A and B are shown apart, each in its own frame.
Chain A
């Protein structure tokens, strides 16, 4: 069974998202607007 397992890999490198990515996601979220009409869902982006 040991043959089925890969060689040990180095510990996982911890990385954090870049501030630009976080800012983009926050801006994206603020601009996204969802509206509903009966069973229909509309999404649009406010400038």
Chain B
């Protein structure tokens, strides 16, 4: 039977120079952390890169003695991974996109098969309106709503990363939706296509 050693003990041993402790921490958590990263980026190689960068940060922080042990090693590592995932998506946003030209427009032969031009414009307008509304929310509500809706994270993951209970995360989501509804009513915004 395999004995599970507490993270805080492994972290303490590692800080004191026991390299075997890091091996055990990696063995213990690698599947959970990598699966979390993979669930967001959906690319095996990118997930592996982010996982590697996450642990490089973990190793450096532990060796420098900057980590304060509060029994939350895994949430701390998950938070680092989460920040690196956000960095990855931010970098990708800056990638050049194909625009087409007068002679040839790729969109004249490609179609999504669902929306015509008018409906697409309406959809874009709705998405832009929602973005503005989300931006008006208090920071804590915006954070939970963004993670849930745009990043498709579970409330358990949101709670772990933001450092609050699941109930608090659920409450923030609820208030975010209530506030958005209020703003929609106050500004007579139509959010239907």
Contacts and interface: CB of A to CB of B under 8 A. Distances in A.
A24 B52 contact: yes
Which of A22, A25, A43 has the most chain B CB within a 10 Å cutoff?
A: A25
Nearest to B21: A29
Contacts, number: 65
Q: What is the predominant secondary structure among interface residues of chain B facing chain A?
A: helix
B177 A32 contact: no
A10 to B, nearest CB: 10
A16 B34 contact: yes
B26 A6 contact: no
A47 interface: no
B177 A1 contact: yes
Interface residues of A, number: 24
A1 B64 CA distance: 47
B47 interface: yes
Interface of B: 19, 22-23, 26, 30-31, 34-35, 38-39, 44, 47-48, 51-52, 55-56, 59-60, 63-65, 148-149, 152, 177
Given A5-B148, A26-B23, A43-B60, 17 more contacts: A5-B149, A6-B149, A14-B35, A15-B38, A16-B34, A17-B30, A17-B48, A17-B51, A25-B56, A26-B22, A28-B56, A28-B59, A29-B19, A29-B22, A34-B63, A43-B63, A43-B64
